[in-house]
Amino acid sequence: MARSSPVFKSMLYKGFWIESKPDHGDWVVNLPADDIVGFSVLLLILHGHIRKVPSTMAEYRTAGPTANTVTNILYQIAKTADKYDLLHLLQPWIIKWCTEMGDLEPPREGWLGQRLWIAWLLGDEHMVNDELHYLILSAYIRPILEEDEDHLELAAFNKNGDKVSLGFPGGEESEIIEIMDISDRVAKKRIHLLKVILDAARSLLNREALGDYTRCFRHDTYNATAWGPPTVSKAEGGKLLHRYKYSLGMAGLWPFPTAENYRGSVSELQAQILDVQRAFVGRSAKYERFCTSGGCDPTESMVNYVDELIRPPYYVSSPDWEETESRRVCIPLSKKEKTRLKLRREKSGLQMARSWS
């Protein structure tokens, strides 16, 4: 153990630790804080039992190929390996393990602290961006104490639906928020996205904007082209505006909130925008027939704009991790953070996982 890990070498033989070799009596080392799952895999590698090291996390004991189980096992291995400076031992397996975890991960809304930990420890910049994407979309404002509206905090829903405080992280998983020091950046990005989305919805609060989308307003679909450019009378525009305000009210967005006083998450606002469209189209069907071609529903472009705005990051392949990627939702990482992740990749072996010919 000491030959492979400088941490173990210092802990066992420097004499300053409770685990150090005693001058007399039995030498028993207790490590109650270490997870047995992560530690057992490292022991297999350290003692040369390579054939017993699981090639996939689903093979580990009776884990079963589920996303939660695979992520949890890899999280425990990465945390333990980092603690004892043994990340380099994982190089033969780490690429396959991370690929397996990604393949098993279903679509989700909330962030996952264990995945952010894994990405931060192993240097996977893509996974860091992905988890920050989910974190920003799920962040919301809540009272620190129930019924205490004078003291608010930023929190977020994780993948399992649990509420995690971003201002006062508690627990091992959410500790990564404090380590990365990203609470303020998440809060600023959340406000920015809320403002952009609300501005898009507010832009339709006039007759002219609504009229621009009503090419076939009150006209039969098959004869629409004969009517030329859209023409909306003052009365018709007023009816559209009333209908739009009614739809906003049905979705809980009227009176219009500001980004600063909106307490929900970006994902919640996205769902409300979709409710606006459903209410608008449903109520319009009582009066007129909208054209079935794209662009005639004034709320459709708003929904499409929001969907495009907050879609997950994408990456364009190029050597050495220097990718062009969507930064609309991701928090731009600092040069120091990128350098740290690069060094971790080289140590863990993930550098080889993202090489292109």
Q: Give Cα separations from 178 to 96, 123, 181, 342 (angstroms).
A: 29, 17, 5, 21
Give CA–CA dist 271/122, Å, rounded.
34
Q: What is the mean pLDDT of residues 190-195?
A: 95
More confident residue, 95 or 316: 95
Q: What is the mean pLDDT of residues 195-202?
A: 93
**Lowest mean pLDDT across 44-53, 160-169, 264-273:** 160-169
**Lowest mean pLDDT across 25-34, 228-237, 298-307:** 228-237
- Given pLDDT bands bounded at 50, 70 and 90, which one contains residue 355? very low
- Given pLDDT bands bounded at 50, 70 and 90, which one contains residue 102? confident
Residue 319 backbone zone (phi > 0: left; psi -120 to 50: alpha; other: beta): beta
pLDDT of res. 205: 83
- Given pLDDT bands bounded at 50, 70 and 90, which one contains residue 330? confident
pLDDT of res. 350: 86
pLDDT of res. 120: 96
pLDDT of res. 319: 47
Q: Looking at mean pLDDT, say which of 76-80, 144-148, 284-288 comes out highest.
A: 76-80
In tens, the pLDDT along 265-314 reads 999 999 999 999 988 877 655 545 445 444 457 788 889 889 988 887 76
Give CA–CA dist 113/166, Å, rounded.
11
Residue 127 in this model has a pLDDT that exceeds 70: yes
Asked if residues 54 and 60 have their Cβ atoms less than 8 Å apart, the reply is: yes
**Lowest mean pLDDT across 71-80, 178-187, 231-240, 326-335:** 231-240
pLDDT of res. 93: 92
Residue 123 in this model has a pLDDT that exceeds 90: yes
Give CA–CA dist 155/113, Å, rounded.
13
pLDDT of res. 357: 29
- Given pLDDT bands bounded at 50, 70 and 90, which one contains residue 221? very low
* Residue ranges of domains in the chain: 122-181+318-357, 189-309
Task: Report the candidate in 238, 197, 200, 202 with the shortest Cα–Cα distance to residue 217.
Answer: 238
Give CA–CA dist 83/77, Å, rounded.
10
Q: What is the mean pLDDT of residues 242-258?
A: 92
pLDDT of res. 215: 46
Q: What is the mean pLDDT of residues 234-240?
A: 69
Residue 116 in this model has a pLDDT that exceeds 60: yes
Asked if residues 156 and 164 have their Cβ atoms less than 8 Å apart, the reply is: yes
pLDDT of res. 84: 83
**Lowest mean pLDDT across 59-63, 96-100, 243-247:** 59-63
- Given pLDDT bands bounded at 50, 70 and 90, which one contains residue 244? confident
Q: What is the mean pLDDT of residues 100-105?
A: 78
Q: What are phi and psi of 266, to 5 degrees?
A: -60, -40
Q: What is the mean pLDDT of residues 219-241?
A: 56
- Given pLDDT bands bounded at 50, 70 and 90, which one contains residue 6? low
Q: Report strand pairing: 324-325 vs 152-157.
A: unpaired
